[in-house]
Chains A and B, each alone.
Chain A
Amino acid sequence: MANADLVLAERAVREKGHIARNTAALLAAVPIGLILFFLLLPTLIVIPMSVGTSPYIEFPPRGLTFKWYEAYFSDPDWMAATWFSFRIAVATTFTATVIGTLAAVALIRGRLPAKEYLQALTLAPLIVPHIVIAVSLYLFFAPLGLVGNFYGFVIAHSMLAVPYVVITVSAALQRFDPNLELAALNCGATRLQAFFHIVLPNIRPGVAAGAVFAFLASFDEATVAFFISGIEGKTITRKMFEDIDFNLTPVIAAVSTVLTLVSLVLMSRIEIARRRSDHGRRE
């Protein structure tokens, strides 16, 4: 009897709790909605602006036009900057992914002196303010003729991007069972064969994620690019920075939209892949 009373009483309390929680949830939803609006608005506002007809930046836009995209794609300066950025990003992706993957293997699986210091050094470019790196690189590159230079950019951006690759590949390596590699070695594979046939396929998602981060770390990078760009060799971000300061037209909104779409498409692919592998592991 007492037991049944207790059950009833508990249910009553729980229901009361439910009502209170629902009211609280509703009350919380409004400010949280406003905060999310504050987060999202400045990110997405450039998209409607890029299709407005007015030559001045205005919102909400009047009329629908793609002339700013046409202007972007037919302007040789914008195209040169875009192509320059793209070439740098591709080369950076390759360099940073190869260097970062090799280093991650050594850092996770290898016997190395002063490993902690190496790990700290690897993460340093993420912590040190980019303005410090930018000014330092400008000072270093200028006398070497590497300002506005493709190779100068690849060195700078690879250095900025390589920590992302080391982080993602290290995480994948920590999940990889080294006994699989041992089995391959016991079956007569060489280290190199075991790496390419056993280790690499298993850590591929980590390597792929690192490569995407590296591409975006280069393509979207603005601070260092602002300082080490030249009059000829100029990235899309440097060109944007200049135009925002001197020539604020809706073409910048069109360029921004293109940059945003590139980032969102690449990152959401990584996020979807990550969620899928998370689910696979849980089940």
Chain B
Amino acid sequence: MRAKPLAGSPFGGRPTSAQEYGPGLSLLLVTPLVLLLVGGFLYPVGKLFWGSVFVPEATFANYARILQEPLFLLVLCRTFEIAFVVTALALLLGYPVAMAMARVSGRTAMLIAACVLIPLWTSVLVRSYAWIVLLQRNGVVNNALIETGLTGTPLRLLYTQGAVIAAMTQVLLPFMILPIYSVVRNIPDDFVRAARNLGAGSLQAFFRVTLPLSLPGVTAGVLITFILSLGFYITPALVGGPGTLMMSTLIGQQTTELLDWPFAGALAAVLLAATLLLVIVFRRALALNKGFKLG
């Protein structure tokens, strides 16, 4: 007899009581998790948002400030702009890699998988630091540019929007590649072969068979990358400068330097609202990734 995926699922018939844990025991088992998540997550986040409206007195002034002051509106727009560019670049770079990973086998497949997984497993802090080393004034990129004669004097690369985009794209690229790969891998080779036999060229077969079938993976990858870019802190904080403030780094600045809690709370609420809206609207597309292990 095969294991049922979920005891007590509508397809499994009436489960015997021995196969299913009773409500009392289940509740007992799940209580520590609920306590941890309520005490360590829901309550603190709720408290921050409460403070953004009710401290020192009930007002939406903190939220109005985001929309009224041009600087904050600019940061909001820039955050979406950077997230958009990073997602587009990651798709452009990630799609061919995912395709290659799904098509090849043996040692080449292992090699590509290693190139994708090793960065995913490495600390974001380490990778952001590496980008500083690459992009600083006497860094690797500048040295290479001077040696090849492309520039006479070192360029200012670090602390620019370009640096933030390059580093974030590299950090988030595996999150684009893996969902696309997991979908493309399951497209049977026969489909493309059938299209070719029916007279399609390889480009036509790609655009009319492979690409449409890979779209669920693309949607999931795009959403995950976009959501992660919106709230990314470490990389923009280290590689970016005052001219590249994003929502996350602005929240950090308001908290640590200006100690403006209620305003930081309002900014955090806006960032969280944008994230949750995306997750809720696209929850179907994201559910595709449920079995996918998160790095």
Q: Please report the C-alpha to C-alpha distance between residue A32 and residue B104 in the assembled complex, in whole angstroms.
A: 12
Does A231 sit within 8 A of B, measured CB to CB? no
Residues of A within 8 A of B275 (CB): 127-129
Q: Please report the C-alpha to C-alpha distance between residue A154 and residue B126 in the assembled complex, in whole angstroms.
A: 22
Does A105 sit within 8 A of B, measured CB to CB? yes
CB distance from A75 to the nearest CB of B (A): 17
Known contacts A43-B122, A132-B251, A259-B123; 13 additional CB pairs below 8 A are: A36-B97, A39-B173, A100-B33, A106-B26, A111-B21, A129-B233, A140-B47, A174-B5, A223-B233, A240-B125, A260-B123, A264-B122, A267-B117
Q: Judging by beta carbons under 8 Å apart, are B272 and A106 in contact?
A: no
Q: Please report the C-alpha to C-alpha distance between residue A47 and residue B245 in the assembled complex, in whole angstroms.
A: 30
- Could you give, for residues 157-183 of chain A, a 1 whenever the CB lies within 8 Å of some chain B CB and a 0 otherwise? 011001110111001001111110110
Q: A35-B97, A136-B45, A185-B18 are in contact. Are A24 and B40 (CB under 8 A)?
A: no
Residues of A within 8 A of B21 (CB): 105-106, 109-111, 191
Q: A132-B251, A137-B44 are in contact. Are A182 and B18 (CB under 8 A)?
A: yes
CB distance from B196 to the nearest CB of A (A): 7
Does B22 sit within 8 A of A, measured CB to CB? yes
Q: Judging by beta carbons under 8 Å apart, are B27 and A112 in contact?
A: yes
Q: 29 A-B Cβ contacts within 8 A?
A: A35-B93, A36-B112, A40-B118, A43-B118, A43-B130, A45-B140, A103-B29, A108-B6, A110-B30, A121-B37, A124-B37, A124-B41, A127-B276, A129-B233, A131-B268, A132-B271, A135-B252, A140-B43, A164-B294, A177-B2, A179-B1, A182-B16, A182-B18, A226-B234, A256-B129, A259-B123, A259-B126, A264-B118, A264-B122
Residues of A within 8 A of B27 (CB): 106, 110, 112
Q: Judging by beta carbons under 8 Å apart, are A131 and B18 in contact?
A: no
Q: Judging by beta carbons under 8 Å apart, are B19 and A182 in contact?
A: yes
Q: Judging by beta carbons under 8 Å apart, are A132 and B134 in contact?
A: no
**A51-59, A64-72, A76-84 - interface stretch:** A51-59
Q: Judging by beta carbons under 8 Å apart, are A57 and B136 in contact?
A: yes
CB distance from B264 to the nearest CB of A (A): 6
Does A130 sit within 8 A of B, measured CB to CB? yes
Q: Which residues of A contact B (CB under 8 A)?
A: 17, 20-21, 24, 28, 31-32, 35-36, 38-46, 49, 56-59, 98-100, 102-103, 105-113, 118, 121-122, 124-141, 155-156, 158-159, 162-164, 166-168, 171, 174-179, 181-182, 185-186, 191, 216, 220, 222-223, 226-227, 237, 240-241, 244-245, 248, 252-253, 256, 259-260, 263-264, 267-268, 271
Most chain B beta-carbon neighbours within 10 Å: one of A41, A136, A267: A136
Range class of the B interface residue count: 35 or more
Q: A109-B20, A181-B19 are in contact. Are A42 and B233 (CB under 8 A)?
A: no
Q: Please report the C-alpha to C-alpha distance between residue A240 and residue B128 in the assembled complex, in whole angstroms.
A: 11
Looking across the interface, which residue of chain B has its beta carbon closest to that of A105? Answer: B29
Q: Judging by beta carbons under 8 Å apart, are B41 and A125 in contact?
A: yes
Interface residues of B in 6-27 (CB under 8 A from A): 6-8, 16, 18-23, 25-27
Q: Judging by beta carbons under 8 Å apart, are A227 and B255 in contact?
A: yes
Q: Judging by beta carbons under 8 Å apart, are A127 and B123 in contact?
A: no
CB distance from A20 to the nearest CB of B (A): 7
Q: A100-B33, A222-B123 are in contact. Are A155 and B132 (CB under 8 A)?
A: no
Q: Please report the C-alpha to C-alpha distance between residue A31 and residue B96 in the assembled complex, in whole angstroms.
A: 9
Residues of A within 8 A of B264 (CB): 135
Q: Judging by beta carbons under 8 Å apart, are A127 and B20 in contact?
A: no
Residues of A within 8 A of B22 (CB): 110-111
Main secondary structure of the interface of B (DSSP, over half): helix
Does B152 sit within 8 A of A, measured CB to CB? no
Residues of B within 8 A of A100 (CB): 33
Looking across the interface, which residue of chain A has its beta carbon closest to that of B113? Answer: A271
Q: Which of A28, A35, A163, A222 contacts B234 (CB 8 A)?
A: A222
Q: Judging by beta carbons under 8 Å apart, are B33 and A122 in contact?
A: yes
- Could you give, for residues 155-175 of chain B, a 1 whenever the CB lies within 8 Å of some chain A CB and a 0 otherwise? 000000000000100100110
Q: Judging by beta carbons under 8 Å apart, are B40 and A17 in contact?
A: no
Does B53 sit within 8 A of A, measured CB to CB? no
CB distance from A50 to the nearest CB of B (A): 11
CB distance from B209 to the nearest CB of A (A): 15
Q: Which of A131, A168, A191, A226 contacts B271 (CB 8 A)?
A: A131
Q: Judging by beta carbons under 8 Å apart, are A112 and B234 in contact?
A: no
Most chain B beta-carbon neighbours within 10 Å: one of A124, A191, A223: A223
Residues of A within 8 A of B136 (CB): 57
Most chain B beta-carbon neighbours within 10 Å: one of A28, A122, A139, A182: A139
Q: A36-B97, A158-B36, A159-B40 are in contact. Are A127 and B230 (CB under 8 A)?
A: no
Residues of B within 8 A of A35 (CB): 93, 96-97
Q: A42-B134, A102-B32, A222-B234 are in contact. Are A171 and B25 (CB under 8 A)?
A: no
Q: Which of A28, A109, A136 contacts B268 (CB 8 A)?
A: A136
CB distance from A59 to the nearest CB of B (A): 5
